[in-house]
Amino acid sequence: MSDRFLKASMLLAHLPAAVNRRIKEVRKEIDERGDRGDNPIVTVILWVAGISIAITIVAALVALGNRASSKVDNVDLGG
């Protein structure tokens, strides 16, 4: 068995314990500090709404620019 394989298997074996330890630390910190008051669901909804509005504005400006460009292209300048 190679040394790398042995090290990787040992790291994977310790991973659940490390994750469990970190979750306990986080829960303890949350209990000590209390709730911060922000709701992650509301935050995600606000970000999605903001990005959607920005994309809509950009799409409208592109459509308006294309429309104006096509009108200018059809103008005969007597060249």
Q: How far is CA 74 from CA 53, 65, 70, in A?
A: 32, 15, 7
Residue 75's SS3 state is coil
At 78 the pLDDT is 65
Question: Where do the DSSP E strands lie in 15-69?
Answer: none
**pLDDT tens profile 64-74:** 988 887 776 66
pTM above 0.95, yes or no: no
Q: Is 40 exposed, middle or buried (0-12, 13-18, 19+ CB in 10 A)?
A: exposed
Average pLDDT of the segment spanning 20-42: 84
At 23 the pLDDT is 93
Break the chain into its structural domains and give their ranges.
1-37, 38-74
